[in-house]
Amino acid sequence: MTTSSTQNPLTGKLLFPFVAPPNGGKGTQTQILSERYNLPTFDMGSTFRAIMKEGRDPQLKAELESFMNNGKLVPVETVVKIFKKNFEALAAQNPEAKGFILDGFPRSQDQASALATLCQEWQATLAKVIYLNVPMDVVKARATGRRFCSQDARHVYNVNDAKLAPKYKKMKADGTGVEVDAQGREVWQCTLDEAELIVRADDEPQTVEKRLVEYSKETDPLIAHYRQTQELAEINGDQAPEKVTQSIETVMHPILALAPVS
């Protein structure tokens, strides 16, 4: 390994940012591909949560709170600083990896410009941006149909998908029909333990709609930018998960196969 590689653990590494709408299947795909190709994943969302909830970095936490407590957006400079510091640490811990998956960064055109600058600094390569294109009506159905067991949150269903739907609805005590919740939705029961299934706040229709509007506003220019630079690989995310994985692999596998071993 060269001196520059020793000093900079990202020299020669391949970066694969993943972009997808909420409930677009990004988490499933990054986990599969990370394990299959030994590509550690940097998760920006988890990094933020660790800073804010676990107190991993008190100085950065105070900086983030100075914006959030005043109702201000966290500036791109602070986001990039958090990304750079924590991603470089991940790279240093995984010197044998050919590359890394980026989940949650970049999320805007400004962040994409910052990443391009960092790649030059690191002598790393932005190999491909993997964009899971999922129609908004599909995303909404995935979110609003999701139900969690009230006794064990690991039991997850989707009433809008026949393959993932629970088997039983909760009947009224008098046997006159199905129980409904405060919003008039039928109440289902967990197939495994018969506990009542619940809808989480994040999956309420108004919350889902707001998140998708915010996603489009921030991400549409990012997608257009990477499409123009020909760094975008657009994948049909409205397929069975294994088909989505196969589609992504047709893009990633040739790139990784040609990459030199560290």
| The one catalytic residue among 26, 98, 147, 170 | 26
CATH topology of domain 3-134+214-258: Rossmann fold (3.40.50)
- Supply the pLDDT for residue 5: 41
pLDDT tens digits for range 189-225 = 999 999 999 999 889 999 999 999 999 999 999 999 9
Q: Where do the domains of the chain lie?
A: 3-134+214-258
Catalytic: 49? no
β-pair type (156-158, 232-236): unpaired
| The one catalytic residue among 128, 142, 146, 147 | 146
Q: In the block, which residue shows the tokens 């008039």?
A: 184
Catalytic: 26? yes
39: helix, strand or coil? coil
pLDDT tens digits for range 228-257 = 999 999 999 999 999 999 999 999 999 998
The pTM (predicted TM-score) of the whole model is 0.86
- Supply the pLDDT for residue 60: 86
| The one catalytic residue among 56, 200, 227, 243 | 200
| The one catalytic residue among 13, 107, 140, 147 | 107
Catalytic: 200? yes
Give the angle subtended at the CA of 33 by the CAs of 28 and 36, to the nearest 5°.
130
Task: Report residue 3's pLDDT band, with 50, 70 and 90 as the boundaries.
Answer: very low
Alpha helix (H) residue ranges in the chain: 3-7, 26-37, 44-53, 58-68, 76-93, 109-122, 136-144, 205-228, 241-258
